[in-house]
Chains A and B, each alone.
Chain A
Amino acid sequence: MANDDKILEQVTNNEYKYGFYTDIETDKAPKGLNEDIIRMISQKKNEPEWMLEFRLDSYRKWLKMEEPEWAHIYHKPIEYQDIHYYAAPKKKKNPKGLDEVDPELLDTFNKLGISLEEQKRLTGVAVDAVMDSVSVKTTFQDTLQKHGIIFCSFSEAVQNHPELVRKHLGSVVPNNDNYFAALNSAVFTDGSFVYIPKGVRCPVELSTYFRINAANTGQFERTLIVGDEQSYVSYLEGCTAPMRDENQLHAAIVEIVALKDAEVKYSTVQNWYPGNENGEGGIYNFVTKRGLAKGHNSKISWTQVETGSAITWKYPSCVLLGDNSVGEFYSVAVTNNRQQADTGTKMIHIGKNTKSTIISKGISAGYSENSYRGLVKMTKNAHNSRNFSQCDSLLLGDKCGAHTWPYIKAQNTSSVVEHEATTSKISDDQLFYCNQRGIDTENAIGLIVNGYAKEVLNKLPMEFAVEAQKLLSISLEGSVG
């Protein structure tokens, strides 16, 4: 396999000298990043000129930027020239049945209570015609079409709805917003696009699961959600099943625009490979997520359950521009072993009477580091605005770290910012109390942790919440011994 890669690399490198574009056979761009690679990505995707310009502009800005160092995380330097920035969607060899799938993975699925059908889908087992998920997807797409809802891959959106993409792309997260955002803007491969027309309440949860032509978009994912006036949508990203990816660096962007009276609810369960016990391997997840509550009375709500990744760097934020607009952030971040999470939110109050709520629950175990970092900003004209923040940390054991960095900037006097924080531990007495009632230590931790995170889990769509509960317990397995 490694040998194949080398040959492939040589071949692609060779062809590169003669002009990359003629090459259709290769499935990977050579390592490294330069304008040619970006042109190649854009051309492979048959993108319009403005899209290429956006990418090149991002790349040029990225070159002048520096990787941020303020987060409470540590990692070896990322070799940006050692990454393949384009790989064609690969045809994987699909297992014929579940008996060909890694038993450890199946074990986790069973613990999560994922149905057999779902297990087959997640592991790529070929399903027979009756069960074929494509047909499910088709009926799903029919429903959406009836309401005029657009839900497709980002690439398709660029082809089929260029005016919408062009209007909103980068309008919430500018391409020079931060180092990782600039990188994503230059090289993103795919992601999701959602448009909910005026006055439409999306009747179903939109989940990446149902997106037709969902290519393998793990590494540099780009999502854009636009809620037109008086619309509503609930969007689900990720799944509880453990996700592996050969690429260590992930830098995604999610942009949300909510127009007047619109509401967008975005839920994430992030369970990328966290690395092994010693902190080897694992995904570096540098994500920029931001919502613009643009119109009056609009609302953007982030809910996240973060259990995976070796490094999580992520601050889903709300810019509350419209008067009376509302921003919410509900987060559970679990770190175990050598995982590091630096996560939180920014609530930027610009409009009058804007409101935001932050509920953050950090759970640290093993030798992990778990930080909450949040900014609440009341700008000059955000009269009579309010924020409430609650940031709790729960520690398992005494080798892990929990940190809270709340930043508050108040530029008017009529607004109120409230911040509460607690740190607690799971005590031996609590565990013994559970043991004495017949509940073993692992289950006891699950029970306590889920109780602790309940406020956030309750915000997830129902089916998701049940799986997420189990996920929390599983993520902490072996953390007390």
Chain B
Amino acid sequence: MLSIKNLSVSIEGKQILKKLNLEVEKGEVHAIMGPNGTGKSTLASIIAGRDFFDIDEGEVFYKGQNLLEMDPEERAREGIFLGFQYPVEIPGVSMNNFLRTALNEQRKYHGLDPMSASDFIARMEEKKKMLDMQSNLTKRSVNEGFSGGEKKKNEIFQMAVLEPQLAILDETDSGLDIDALKIVANGVNKLRKPDNSTIVITHYQRLLDYIIPDVVHVLYDGRIVKTGGKELALELEEKGYEWLKEHAY
């Protein structure tokens, strides 16, 4: 599904990712953990196609395509979804309108007709029910005036509606109370399918009580310094990130 080889990335001359390697197979859930400022969001942004980074070396392949040559919207239409760490507000644009546009752009790309209004409404209702979300969020403008928790839930909701093949959730669990955390985890678990993959970026092991990852990576100082099974998360929780320093160099 996703194959990253020797990826080095810098911004304004400062190197952030250093010869990073990552392989995610179909159907897998990967967790990426690591302290603040180690490059987790940078990695997510690179996969999604943010353009203010310099890619110094390496390659990224997604479903066999050279991802680095694709526009961000094309990547999205090919099934990549990024749940942002800090979702931005778009005043005046209702969630309904936004998602309908997104969905129809995706359909157009795949040669399908736009979704009818009634099918769209049905899809929205279905996903709300699935995620146990209140319905009023979709009438409001995209993220405008949403609380931190609402923004995160809204990312999961968008993921559910757009049905991506590769979802990257960047600290979607941060700042959530336990109920919201369950909604997020529930969403990820329900969307877990043999054909889809998920990368869960998290700072805490807590989320991994609800989302059981197949693989856990530890990102430290721009490199993946350790990879293991779900027990790695517990070990990390116990010993703290300091413990990693010895692995880093």
A interface with B by C-beta (< 8 Å): 424, 427, 429-430, 432-441, 443, 447-448, 450-454
Sample of 23 A–B contacts (CB below 8 Å): A429-B88, A430-B89, A432-B48, A432-B72, A433-B84, A433-B87, A433-B142, A434-B98, A436-B76, A436-B82, A436-B84, A437-B102, A437-B162, A438-B73, A438-B77, A438-B103, A438-B109, A439-B101, A439-B105, A443-B101, A447-B101, A448-B93, A450-B93
Q: Interface readout for B169-209 with A: 1 if CB under 8 Å, 0 if not?
A: 00000000000000000000000000000000000000000
| Beta-carbon nearest neighbor of B87 in chain A | A433
Q: Is the CB of A433 within 8 A of B90?
A: yes
Q: Is the CB of A447 within 8 A of B73?
A: no
Q: Interface readout for B69-96 with A: 1 if CB under 8 Å, 0 if not?
A: 0011101110001101001111111100
Q: Is the CB of B93 within 8 A of A438?
A: no
> Residues of B contacting A432 with CB < 8 Å?
48, 50, 72
> Residues of A contacting B141 with CB < 8 Å?
451
Q: Is the CB of A435 within 8 A of B162?
A: no
Chain A nearest CB, measured from B126 CB (Å): 19
> Residues of B contacting A424 with CB < 8 Å?
91
Chain A nearest CB, measured from B180 CB (Å): 21
Q: Is the CB of A440 within 8 A of B71?
A: yes
Q: Is the CB of B98 within 8 A of A452?
A: no
> Residues of A contacting B109 with CB < 8 Å?
438
Alpha-carbon distance between A435 and B45 when the two chains are bound, in angstroms? 12
> Residues of B contacting A437 with CB < 8 Å?
76, 98-99, 102, 105, 158, 162
Alpha-carbon distance between A327 and B99 when the two chains are bound, in angstroms? 37
Given the contacts A433-B87, A438-B106, A452 and B92 also touching, CB distance less than 8 Å? yes
Given A435-B73, A436-B72, A438-B109, list of 18 further CB < 8 A pairs?
A429-B88, A430-B89, A433-B90, A434-B102, A436-B75, A437-B102, A437-B162, A438-B73, A438-B77, A438-B103, A438-B105, A438-B106, A439-B101, A440-B73, A440-B105, A447-B97, A448-B93, A451-B93
Of the candidates A438, A450, A452, A454, the one whose C-beta lies within 8 Å of that of B102 is: A438
Q: Is the CB of A447 within 8 A of B93?
A: yes
Q: Is the CB of B90 within 8 A of A454?
A: no
> Residues of B contacting A452 with CB < 8 Å?
91-92
> Residues of B contacting A439 with CB < 8 Å?
73, 101-102, 105
Alpha-carbon distance between A453 and B94 when the two chains are bound, in angstroms? 13
Q: Which of B25-50 contact A (CB under 8 A)?
A: 48-50
Q: Interface readout for B52-77 with A: 1 if CB under 8 Å, 0 if not?
A: 00000000000000000001110111
Of the candidates B75, B81, B90, B101, the one whose C-beta lies within 8 Å of that of A430 is: B90
Number of interface residues of B (CB under 8 A): 33
> Residues of B contacting A448 with CB < 8 Å?
90, 92-93
Q: Is the CB of B72 within 8 A of A435?
A: yes
Alpha-carbon distance between A432 and B99 when the two chains are bound, in angstroms? 15
> Residues of A contacting B101 with CB < 8 Å?
439, 443, 447
Q: Is the CB of B98 within 8 A of A447?
A: yes
Q: Which 6 A-B pairs have the closest CB atoms?
A: A451-B92, A451-B93, A437-B102, A438-B76, A435-B72, A438-B105
Q: Is the CB of A451 within 8 A of B76?
A: no
Q: Which of B81, B88, B158 has the most CB of A within 10 A?
A: B88
| Beta-carbon nearest neighbor of A432 in chain B | B50
Chain B nearest CB, measured from A434 CB (Å): 8
Q: Is the CB of A436 within 8 A of B162?
A: no
Chain B nearest CB, measured from A414 CB (Å): 35
> Residues of A contacting B94 with CB < 8 Å?
451
| Beta-carbon nearest neighbor of A427 in chain B | B88
> Residues of A contacting B81 with CB < 8 Å?
436
Q: Which of B192-247 contact A (CB under 8 A)?
A: none
Alpha-carbon distance between A439 and B97 when the two chains are bound, in angstroms? 12
Q: Is the CB of A443 within 8 A of B105?
A: yes
Alpha-carbon distance between A408 and B230 when the two chains are bound, in angstroms? 67
Alpha-carbon distance between A437 and B87 when the two chains are bound, in angstroms? 12
Alpha-carbon distance between A453 and B93 when the two chains are bound, in angstroms? 10
Chain A nearest CB, measured from B8 CB (Å): 22
Alpha-carbon distance between A346 and B90 when the two chains are bound, in angstroms? 31
